[in-house]
Amino acid sequence: VTHYSIPEEMKEGSVVANLATDLRLEVKTLNERKMRLDIVANKKYLDVNKETGELYIMEKIDREYICPSKSSASCYLRLEVTLENPLRIFNIEIEILDTNDNAPQFRRDAIHLDISESTPKGERFSLSNAVDPDVGSNSVKTYHLSENEYFNIEVQTGRDGTKFADLILKKTLDREQQAVHNLTLTAVDGGKPARSGTASVIVHVLDTNDNKPTFDKSLYNVKIMENSPIGSLVLHLNATDSDEGSNSDITYSYSLYTSEKTQETFHLNPTSGEITVRGMLNYEEFNIYDMEVIATDKGANSLSGQCTIKILVEDMNDNHPELSIKSFQSPVSEDIKLDTVIAVVSVSDKDSGENGIVDLHIPDNMPFKLKKSTDNYYELVVSEALDREKVPEYDITFTVTDRGSPPLSDNETMTLELLDVNDNVPQFPKSFYTIRVMENNAPGALLESLSAFDPDLHENQYLVYVIIEKEIANTSMSMLFSINPEDGKLHALKTFDYEIEKEFLFHIEARDSGSPPLSSNVSVHIIIVDQNDNPPVIVSPWRAHGSVVEEKIPRSTDKGSLVAKVIALDTDSVHNSRITYQFLQVTDATLFSLDQYNGEIRTMRMFSYRDPRHQRLVVVAKDNGEPALSATVTIKLSTEETAVKAYSDMTEVPLEYDIFSDLNLYLVIGLGSVSFLLLITILVTIVLKCQKAKPSKAAPPSRNSVISERNSTIADSTLVSNDAYWYSLFLAETRKGKLVVRQPVPKGSRYIVSSIPRGTGLTDTSDSASSTLQV
CB of 167 closer than 8 Å to CB of 125? yes
8-state DSSP, 389:
T
Taking the C-alpha atoms of residue 315 and residue 227, their distance in angstroms, rounded to an integer, is 9
Return the pLDDT at 769. Answer: 31
In a 3-state reduction of DSSP, which class is residue 148? Answer: coil
Average pLDDT, the chain: 80
Taking the C-alpha atoms of residue 749 and residue 569, their distance in angstroms, rounded to an integer, is 14
Q: Hey, what amino acid is at 657?
A: Y
CB of 197 closer than 8 Å to CB of 105? yes
Return the pLDDT at 201. Answer: 93
Cα separation values, 680 from 420, 667, 685, 715, 723, Å:
66, 20, 9, 14, 12
Q: Hey, what amino acid is at 78?
A: R
Taking the C-alpha atoms of residue 412 and residue 711, their distance in angstroms, rounded to an integer, is 74
Instruction: Look at residue 294 and tell me whether its pLDDT is greater than 70.
Output: yes
* Tens of pLDDT, residues 310-357: 999 887 887 789 999 989 988 998 889 999 999 999 998 877 678 888
| pLDDT-derived band at 225, boundaries 50, 70, 90 | confident
Residue count (the chain):
775
Q: Per DSSP, what are the bridge partners of residue 672?
A: none
Taking the C-alpha atoms of residue 422 and residue 425, their distance in angstroms, rounded to an integer, is 8
Q: Tell me which H or E stretch contains 738.
A: strand 738-743
Residues 6+ apart with CB under 8 A from 105: 130, 131, 132, 197
Taking the C-alpha atoms of residue 445 and residue 772, their distance in angstroms, rounded to an integer, is 37
Instruction: Look at residue 681 and tell me whether its pLDDT is greater than 70.
Output: yes
CB of 135 closer than 8 Å to CB of 73? yes
* Tens of pLDDT, residues 19-53: 888 888 888 888 888 888 887 556 778 888 888 88
Burial class (CB in 10 A: 0-12, 13-18, 19+), 404: buried
8-state DSSP, 768:
S
CB of 540 closer than 8 Å to CB of 729? yes
Beta strand pairing call for 549-554 and 630-640: parallel
Q: Hey, what amino acid is at 504?
A: F
| pLDDT-derived band at 229, boundaries 50, 70, 90 | very high
Torsional class of 222: left (φ above 0), alpha (ψ -120 to 50), beta (otherwise): beta
| Mean pLDDT confidence for 574-589 | 85
* Tens of pLDDT, residues 527-560: 988 888 888 888 888 776 666 888 888 888 888 8
Kindly give the residue spans of alpha helices, DSSP state H, lying in 156-305: 260-265
Return the pLDDT at 474. Answer: 67
Instruction: Look at residue 300 and tell me whether its pLDDT is greater than 70.
Output: yes
Which has the closest alpha carbon to 399: 408, 390, 391? 408
Task: Please name each of the domains of the chain with its CATH number.
Answer: 2-97 (2.60.40.60), 105-206 (2.60.40.60), 214-314 (2.60.40.60), 322-419 (2.60.40.60), 432-529 (2.60.40.60), 537-640 (2.60.40.60)
CB of 74 closer than 8 Å to CB of 95? yes
Would you tell me the crossing angle of helices 709-735 and 662-690 to the nearest 10 degrees? 170
Residues 6+ apart with CB under 8 A from 637: 550, 551, 552, 553, 563, 564, 614, 615, 616, 617
Taking the C-alpha atoms of residue 237 and residue 220, their distance in angstroms, rounded to an integer, is 10
Kindly give the residue spans of alpha helices, DSSP state H, lying in 584-695: 647-652, 662-690
CB of 97 closer than 8 Å to CB of 160? no
Instruction: Look at residue 765 and tell me whether its pLDDT is greater than 50.
Output: no
C-beta neighbour count of 284 within 10 angstroms: 8
Which has the closest alpha carbon to 521: 467, 484, 446? 467
Residue 236: half-sphere exposure toward Cβ, Cα within 13 Å? 4
8-state DSSP, 698:
S
| pLDDT-derived band at 716, boundaries 50, 70, 90 | very low
φ/ψ (deg, to 5) at 354: -65, -30
Return the pLDDT at 471. Answer: 67
Return the pLDDT at 525. Answer: 93
